[in-house]
């Protein structure tokens, strides 16, 4: 949520604290209500409401259950730290916060959950709390922007990778002559395209989240899409993880469900790789790996998600085909023909296919 100022959040923290104190001073057990959000469910009806951005019920934390009290304890400790960060205009990473009370927090996920709870309580995004993470995303291509006074000029060296800035709210003056944005799942594929000087021959912006994208990468991508209104294509491995990463970019993640509407990119299209590509591009049998039990379990679980039925039935068909065939393959397998097959043949063909379909 942009435009939220530290002042507003500090005020909300004080109001929250006062309400707890009021309850305690009147001998009442405090009740902390935290809304719950989700981006998908197992209900295939069109009225499941997962895409409405509305909360899906709430849970109430009380002093009556030990698990709740532990959660409240963690939440209050993190809230105290957040108040200090906001008052002093300092930033800390989630890992920094973990190390402030490692014995109590016991695990990073405990801190992550508390941060999420606070975001929901204060109705803000994580970066509003001055809680940051070291960025993992990379970008290259026909793009220029400024971040906190620094210039990122990808246009001058379009095949050089730059780290996606963490403080996305500080990104300004975006200029681009690209025709589309290409997202690739893995850093290895990103590097392949850089080596092949893909951006010299293709007017585009290439981004990678290096696996599951972090919040900064997703926010940056969303910013580019909102500012530049370019088509977005996504290239992932033909396996359950790849499709899940694609779904994360498109629909958001369950963990950041409360913020999904600011993080998802609805216009993203699945470029490849599809199960059918293994025939269409003559992949030899040895490139096809069998799906493990875990892969199959994951695929079956993903097939239960409502958006695969309601929004992207085409994706669902590909996933079902993958499960039916029982095989998967990585993007790199396309290099079986030649090292630069991906950059010179596969991607341009796929983009041609998609754009010609769109123009029909």
Partner 1 sequence: MDISSVQKLCIHLISSAYQRCRLSEDLCRLSVLLESTLATPIVRVSISDTGTGSCLEEFQDLKYSREGLGTEKWDGLLSIKTTSISDNKIYHYHLNLRESGSSRRLTRLPSIPKNDTKFSGTEVCLSISDTIDALLTEIKRFFQKMLILMIPCVAAELVIKRGDVPGLPCENIFLPNECNPLNFSSSNVERLKSGLEEYVLKHGNILNNKCDSCFCSREQLKISSGVACSMESQRGPGLIVEAVIAISELAESPCFGSRSNKTEVLHFKDFSPCSASVASLNALTSIDWRSYGLTFGSIVDQVDHALIEWESLPPDLRIGKYKHQPDRHLIKKAVKLALDDFKGKYTGFLLSAHAVKICSYAPDLASSIAGIILSSNDLEFRSRCASLLKLSQSQEIGRQTVEDYCIKGKIISVIETNDRKPEKSKEAAPLLFEDYRPQDLEPIPYLEEYEGGDDGFSFQD
Active site residues: 99
Strands 58-61 and 289-290: unpaired
Does 125 participate in binding partner 1 (rule CB under 8 A)? no
Does 87 participate in binding partner 1 (rule CB under 8 A)? yes
For the bound state, the minimum distance from the C-beta of residue 239 to partner 1, rounded and expressed in Å, comes to 12
- Pairwise CA distance, residues 246 & 29, whole Å: 44
- Pairwise CA distance, residues 86 & 308, whole Å: 40
For the bound state, the minimum distance from the C-beta of residue 266 to partner 1, rounded and expressed in Å, comes to 20
Query: For partner 1, which residue of 1, 104, 148, 175 counts as binding (CB under 8 A)?
Result: 104
**Number of chain positions touching partner 1 (CB under 8 A):** 69
The answer to whether the CB of 105 falls within 8 A of the CB of 111 is yes
- Radius of gyration, alpha carbons of the chain: 23
Burial (CB < 10 A; 0-12, 13-18, 19+), residue 53, is middle
DSSP 35: E
For the bound state, the minimum distance from the C-beta of residue 185 to partner 1, rounded and expressed in Å, comes to 12
Nearer Cβ to partner 1, position 58 or 197? 58
Strands 327-328 and 204-208: unpaired
Query: For partner 1, which residue of 43, 53, 123, 255 counts as binding (CB under 8 A)?
Result: 255
Q: Which two tokens stand for residue 86?
A: 């906001």
List, in sequence order, the alpha helices (H) in 311-359.
313-325, 341, 347-359
Does 31 participate in binding partner 1 (rule CB under 8 A)? yes
Query: For partner 1, which residue of 18, 148, 177, 349 counts as binding (CB under 8 A)?
Result: 18
Query: For partner 1, which residue of 43, 53, 123, 133 counts as binding (CB under 8 A)?
Result: 133
The answer to whether the CB of 209 falls within 8 A of the CB of 232 is no
Quick one: CA dihedral 316, 320, 321, 327, positive or negative? Answer: positive
Does 72 participate in binding partner 1 (rule CB under 8 A)? yes
Question: Of 196-225, which residues contact partner 1 (CB under 8 A)?
Answer: 209-217
Nearer Cβ to partner 1, position 74 or 205? 74
For the bound state, the minimum distance from the C-beta of residue 78 to partner 1, rounded and expressed in Å, comes to 9
Does 47 participate in binding partner 1 (rule CB under 8 A)? no
The torsion angles phi and psi of 187, rounded to 5 degrees, stand at -65, -35
Burial (CB < 10 A; 0-12, 13-18, 19+), residue 46, is exposed
Nearer Cβ to partner 1, position 216 or 278? 216
Nearer Cβ to partner 1, position 91 or 144? 91
Does 253 participate in binding partner 1 (rule CB under 8 A)? yes
Does 58 participate in binding partner 1 (rule CB under 8 A)? yes
Nearer Cβ to partner 1, position 109 or 317? 109
Nearer Cβ to partner 1, position 63 or 341? 63
């Amino acid at each position: 949520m942009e435009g939220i100022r530290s002042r507003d959040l500090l005020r909300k923290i004080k109001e929250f604290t006062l309400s707890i104190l009021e309850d305690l001073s009147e001998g009442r057990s405090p009740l902390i209500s935290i809304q719950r959000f989700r981006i998908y469910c197992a209900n295939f009806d069109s009225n499941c409401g997962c895409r409405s951005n509305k909360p899906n019920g709430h849970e109430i934390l009380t002093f009556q259950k030990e698990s709740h009290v532990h959660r409240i304890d963690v939440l209050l400790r993190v809230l105290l730290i957040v108040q200090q960060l906001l008052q002093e205009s300092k930033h800390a990473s989630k890992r920094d916060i973990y190390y402030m009370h490692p014995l109590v927090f016991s695990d990073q996920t405990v801190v992550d959950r508390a941060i999420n709870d606070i975001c929901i309580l204060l109705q803000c995004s994580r970066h509003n709390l001055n809680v940051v993470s070291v960025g993992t995303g990379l970008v290259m291509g026909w793009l220029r922007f400024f971040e906190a006074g620094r210039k990122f000029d990808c246009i001058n060296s379009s095949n050089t990778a730059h780290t996606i800035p963490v403080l996305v709210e500080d990104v300004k003056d975006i200029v681009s002559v690209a025709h589309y944005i290409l997202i690739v799942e893995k850093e290895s594929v990103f590097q392949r395209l850089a080596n092949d000087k893909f951006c010299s021959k293709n007017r585009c912006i290439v981004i990678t989240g290096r696996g599951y994208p972090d919040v900064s990468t997703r926010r940056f991508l969303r910013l580019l899409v909102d500012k530049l209104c370019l088509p977005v294509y996504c290239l992932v491995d033909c396996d359950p993880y790849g499709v899940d990463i694609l779904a994360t970019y498109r629909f958001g993640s369950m963990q950041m469900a409360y913020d999904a509407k600011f993080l998802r990119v609805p216009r993203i299209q699945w470029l490849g790789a599809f199960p059918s590509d293994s025939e269409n591009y003559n992949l030899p049998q040895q490139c096809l790996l069998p799906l493990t039990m875990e892969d199959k379990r994951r695929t079956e679980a993903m097939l239960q998600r409502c958006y695969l039925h309601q929004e992207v039935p085409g994706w669902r068909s590909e996933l079902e085909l993958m499960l039916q065939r029982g095989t998967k393959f990585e993007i790199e397998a396309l290099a079986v023909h030649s090292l630069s097959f991906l950059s010179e043949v596969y991607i341009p063909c796929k983009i041609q296919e998609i754009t010609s379909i769109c123009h029909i």
